[in-house]
Structure 1
Amino acid sequence: MSFRPDSPASRASLPSRDRGIPCSNSVESLGKGRLSRMTWVDAVVAAAVLVLLYLTLRVGQGTTVSFSTSQSAKVNTDPGQLPYDAARSLLRMFVALLLSTVFTFVYAYAAAKSRRLERILIPALDILQSVPVLGFLTVAVSGFIALFPGSMLGLECAAIFAIFTSQAWNMTFGFYSSLASLPRELDELSRSFRFTRWMRFWKVELPSGMIGLVWNGMMSFGGGWFFLVASEAISVNNRGYALPGVGSYAGAAIADGDLARVGWAILTMAVMVIGVNFFFWRPLTAWAEKFKNEQAEASEVQRSVVLDFLRRSSWPQLLGGLLRPVGRALDTAGRVFGVDDRPLTVDPLRRRTGDLAFGAVAGGLILWGLIDLGHYLDDRTGLGVFGEPLLLGLATFGRVVVLVVVATLVWVPVGVKIGFSPRLTRIAQPVVQVLASFPANFLFPLAVWFFLRTGLSIDVGGILLMALGAQWYILFNTIAGAMSIPTDLREAMDDLGVHGWQRWKRLILPGIFPSYVTGGITASGGAWNASIVSEVVTFGGTTLTATGLGAYIAKATAAGDYPHLLAGVAVMSLYVVGLNRFFWRRLYRLADTRYAL
């Protein structure tokens, strides 16, 4: 790992007095010392934080106003309303991102550290990824409205939950992959130093997966934008609900056939995406560079104007000093409950017995749920309801395969090129972020015009709309994988004169393979999810419907037909889980055993 003055490794090697770690009774004196040296940079940062908190509180007030389920869904499409709508959408997106990050840490850690939990949690994650956003919304809207009766907070929670379901699975898969492929020697070293579980997570495991986590978080944030219309303009059981936001604004403008207001929504979306990239994601990707695992530091690293400005401020160091007692308290708690010094190998008979018992209990619960679902469908429609979605799923499956293959051939070389060049990354990151964040619904007017003008069937054109929400997972994960390849390995290849196909075969493909598998499995699941909004295209009075499982689920959701909706969601889950089990999981095992750096 490269030794940088501001890296965790370099700070850990310095005495406490040299790296600014206060004694137990010196945090207050440190704070006074920092505040006494306040500069204009500190004043600007403090003012920016206060303004941000004020705006958050002002915008958040609109989430608790009164609301009645009998109200009709009315969206104000006055362009002057867009700044407020944008603020409401941003608040939902960041709350969902925070929840997704917490979920990622807990879920991925549990799956990576427990063989028993892994056998349940990872297949469950496959199923959760396959359940469409509209499927979650159908349940979430009724549940949250009942939980917060008479308040807009119920709809807000439902929308945030829907955005969460479009973000969390990709981040969890990526972080689980980094934990599962953690070098064995790092794990053994942390055990030999008797690190607590918190110290091991904070000092070893989280830094090891930081680059992939940041880039997957960026991609997941884009996935949230993609489903913004479905999350803010909700139609369940023939009843429409709408929240103030750019997504609902665009949905209303599209329904009215108002191209001018659709254009305003597109412009607002582009400004939001570029602004979030400049002020949030760009500083994070530049900061994550210090966690790259390499022996020699790269000659050119990513830079961020915002990050450079923050580094000139004393606030980050002051905040770090104030939070260090929390870290020490967690370390102490870890020692009280015992150091995690379990052996890396467990008695096979004991493990087999425990796995069988755990599997029997989990299998029994799943079987009970399936039997109950079968009884419910048999009473209402009969089990023959599965026949139509199974056949329609074959059409959507064909589109998913074509999408993943073409996206791999197109975006893997592009992602490697971007990941290897910090200068190109600075240029391409905001462009790719805008493209990845663009909801397919915003392009429905253009798509309808193009399909009618050219005579292209929606059965084929739907692949293009599905690609808007799925192909970027492959690109972003490829970029993260290319950035994670140590600079010294690339320089060694240059010194040995290894170029062309041999360079791809010996360095690039093995180096990016684990990240590509993560991108591939989430792109595949994302394509199934995107089919719901891509196989039914509506603008004004014109509706184009493709033959596929996505259109089947969209129709059942709009009509409030729960038996057909459950059958469609179950069949989609079956396709996704089967594809993951028989194809992607085998690649995961190959990545863990052969291609982990």
Structure 2
Amino acid sequence: MTMFSFNRVDARPDASARNPSTAASDRQPFAVRLASDVLVASGILALFGLIAWILPAIGEPIGPKGVPSQVSTNLADLPYYALRSVFRMLVALFFSLVFTFIYGTAAARCRRLSRVLIPLLDILQSVPILGFLSATITIWMVLFPGSMLGVEAASIFAIFTSQAWNMAFSFTRSLTSEPTELDEAARSLQLTRWQRFWTLDVPNAMIPLLWNCMMSVGGGWFFLTASEMISVNNRTYALPGIGSFVAQAAAEENLAAICWAIVTMVLVVLLIDVLLWKPLTAWAEKFRITQSESAVRKTSVVLTIIRQSHIDEMVAWLFRPVGDLFDTLTRPLGRTGGRWAADVKSARSRALDVVFTVLVLAACAFGLVQLMLVIHRDAGFGELGQAFVLGMVTFLRVALLTLVCSAIWVPIGAMIGMNPRVSRFMQPIVQVLASFPSNFTFPFVTLWFVACSVDINWGSILLMALGTQWYILFNVIAGASQIPDDLREMTRSFQLGRWQRWRDLILPAVFGSWVTGGITAAGGAWNASIVSEIVSYGRHTLTASGLGAYIAEATESGNTVRTIIGVTVMSVFVVAVNRLFWNPLQRMAERRFALN
């Protein structure tokens, strides 16, 4: 019996029938269940208490001296700074999930919107966070005048822009590659849109989405320094956080403080892995599409305690009315289907397509003309040509990085994803490496480059790889873990050799995941170039020739036109590469290598 199944949507079976783990927990001794309830309740109260402790400081008024431009490097403040950073990360992750569900569903299900939303996602992921910050920091300050909440909102928004895009890519791909038999089952059951979303769409996307959530948090940590020590328009806004702590310590050449921040960061990552990621990955195993249960199940002490408590019943009791309300509201949209738009086009539908296309092209043409006028008036087209030359240099770095990282991490990721024993051992290690903000080590790397006379034009490739290689690894792990066990057994039954097994099963099965990882890794590498092509430690500053350094210098100096030019050129490069290279590979993955 398949582990991935539909719940009944009209009937209301008892809790044990809906969830076998609930029945197992009901057989636990009363003392065990009571202890689990106490532990879970204590954890929830502690979480709410920490949030209540942090919130007043987030909304405190701006003092007469304005927003601080630096933070303290007192080691006693480090735990509090780490807590503030974790809070920003989780808030940004929540909004990233909401964005992913809405944007990904619209891009996958609505034919007309997909023509705009998918290319727009390419553009959005190519815009560096400094581009978002320089354009939005004033807006956030106006929305929350006289309050630190405006700067906090800008910081959270910057972290959101480093998390949301690869999650949306992953979710969209999962929706467009749903197994045919499950789609037909949803149609046969005549599920509403809301029921299909939570019964098929989200469960089918759960494993790759979860791994991309981990990677998104890792990407957020990578850009934490730029998000908490915001330097735009000749001004610096510093927020209490571990990222700003490291930036300040690097400016003061305080290596001891940086080392303590690194130790604190490792502890934070391990704690998040134990309390959040490990329980979620163990829980998500029930969404694997397979004909037999895995011989080695992923386990988590935290998940076991939660399952032995009554928290699941409380959550169901609290959120069931909300689900029923949305189910009622979405019923007028009709019953489920593969796409919201019909495949057979009527004359009216074709006319609407033409009108929609004309409007989109007209809007793009108008925006392009206005952009060229601004560049011609304030900078000249020679500046645009220089930016394209620098963009080509950064493109070569990104291409080399993607090629090398793919050759290294695809076989390693497949091995981790297909072997539960290896996954159980390697997941915490990979999670720490991926979540650890590698730019915390940039001061040490800068000193090494200076001492060994390493050319930053080559060294920046290493710095970019430290933060972006994990996109490929995590997506390949997620893809390999979804390979059905019966296909693995079939390769053993046919006694296929190692190379044949890789050629006929593993590589085709993870190809789509590698493409998704490659797209996000390349986009992340472009983004990472703004903090990798120009690095500093105290009086030492190393600057590489490239578009990332161009944007960073323009943003910090407040040169709006150069910032616009740099962001525009970066967007053109990313979108062009995606259109010409990655998108054909993605279509081939959906057409030839989807497990449906």
TM-score, length-normalised on structure 1? 0.94
Mapping for residues 30-179 of structure 1, pairs under 5 Å: 39-67=34-62, 70-179=66-175
Which one of the candidate residues 222, 225, 228 is aligned to 1:229? 225
Q: Distance in 1 between matches of 2:389 and 2:285?
A: 47
Partner of 1:307: 303
Shift of 1:37: 11
Classify 1:433/1:253 alpha carbon distance in 2 versus 1 (closer, same or farther; 3 Å): same
CA distance in 2 between partners of 1:13 and 1:340 (Å): 15
Q: Which whole-Å deviations, capped at 9, do the CAs of 1:327-354 have from their partners, x for residues lacking one? A: 2333333334432457852226554433
How far off is 1:431 after superposition? 1.5
Question: 1:236 and 1:559 mapped to 2: Cα distance?
Answer: 7
Contact 2:186 2:336 in 1 (8 A): no
CA distance in 2, matches of 1:228, 1:176: 27
Shift of residue 224, structure 1, vs aligned partner: 0.3
Aligned identity (percent) is 49
Equivalent residues in 2 for 1:193-272, closer than 5 Å: 193-272=189-268
Aligned pairs for 1:414-453 within 5 A: 414-453=412-451
Give the conservation status (yes or no) of the 8 Å contact 1:11–1:19: no
Q: Report what 2:22 is aligned to.
A: none
Instruction: Provide the rounded CA distance (Å) in 2 between the counterparts of 1:400 and 1:102.
Output: 30
Per-residue CA deviations over 1:47-71 (Å, capped at 9, x if unaligned) read: 1101110111101211011115744
Shift of 1:250: 0.4
Contact 1:440 1:534 in 2 (8 A): no
CA RMSD of aligned residues (A): 2.2
Report SS of the residue matched to 2:230. Answer: strand
Q: Which amino acid aligns with 2:526?
A: W
For the residue of structure 1 that corresponds to 2:70, the secondary structure is coil
Preserved contact between residue 73 and residue 245 of structure 2 (Cα < 8 Å):
yes
For residues 548 and 465 of structure 2, what CA distance do their matches in structure 1 show?
14
How do 1:375-390 residues align onto structure 2 when only pairs under 5 Å count? Answer: 375-390=373-388
Residues 366-393 of structure 1: per-residue CA shift (max 9 Å, x gap): 2211222222222212233211110011
Secondary structure at the counterpart of residue 536 of structure 2 = strand
Written as runs of structure 1 = structure 2, the 5 A alignment for 1:570-589 is 570-589=568-587
Residues 1:37 and 1:527: Cα distance change in structure 2 (over 3 Å): closer
Aligned partner of residue 541 in structure 2, secondary structure: strand
Instruction: State whether residues 192 and 335 of structure 2, in contact with CA within 8 Å, keep that contact through their aligned partners in structure 1.
Output: yes
Equivalent positions of 1:430-579 (< 5 A) are 430-579=428-577
Q: Go from structure 1 to structure 2 and tell me whether the alpha carbon gap of 1:142 and 1:46 turns closer, same or farther (over 3 Å shift).
A: same
Distance 2:68 2:342 in 1: 59
| Structure 1 pair 267–36 and aligned structure 2 pair: CA distance change class (3 A) | closer
Give the equivalent residue in structure 1 for 2:2: 2
Question: SS state of the match for residue 345, structure 1?
Answer: coil
Report the alpha carbon displacement of residue 304 of structure 1 after superposing the two structures with TM.
Answer: 1.0
Once residues 192 and 299 of structure 1 are traced to their aligned partners in structure 2, the CA distance between those partners, rounded to angstroms, is 32
Residue 184 of structure 1: which of 180, 187, 197 is its match?
A: 180
1:18 deviation in Å? 6.6
C-alpha distance in 2 between matches for 1:422 and 1:67:
51
Q: CA deviation at 1:438?
A: 2.7
- Amino acid in the other structure paired with 2:40: V
**Residue pairs, 1:263-412, within 5 angstroms:** 263-340=259-336, 345-347=343-345, 349-412=347-410
2:26 matched to which residue of 1? none
- Which one-letter code corresponds to 1:65 in the other structure? E
Cα pair distance change 1:36/1:452, threshold 3 Å? closer
Alpha-carbon distance, 1:13 to partner: 12
Deviation for aligned residue 1:365: 1.3
Distance 2:84 2:555 in 1: 25
Residue pair 1:438, 1:468 contacting (<8 A) in 2 also: no
Structure 1 unaligned segments of length 5 or more: list them. Answer: 23-34
Greater mean alpha carbon deviation, residues 404-413 or residues 442-451: 442-451
Secondary structure, counterpart of 1:39 in structure 2: helix
Aligned residue identity for 1:335: R
Which digits, 9 at most, give the CA deviation of each residue in 1:153-197, with x for residues without a partner?
Answer: 000000000000000001000000000111233223212221100
Paired with 1:352 and 1:301, the residues of 2 have a C-alpha distance of 51
Q: Is the 8 A contact 1:110 1:117 kept in 2?
A: yes
Q: 1:314 to 1:372 in 2, by over 3 A?
A: same
Q: Distance in 1 between matches of 2:566 and 2:184?
A: 47
Alignment partners' CA distance in 2, 1:343 and 1:163: 34
Look up the SS of the partner of 2:542 in the other structure: strand
Deviations 1:488-509 (A, max 9, x none): 1111111211131100111001
TM-score by length of 2: 0.94
Q: How does 1:3-18 map to 2 (within 5 A)?
A: 3=3, 9=6, 16-17=13-14
Quick one: structure 1 residues 47 and 440, their matched pair in 2 at CA, closer, same or farther if it must change by over 3 Å? closer
Q: Distance in 2 between matches of 1:169 and 1:258?
A: 35
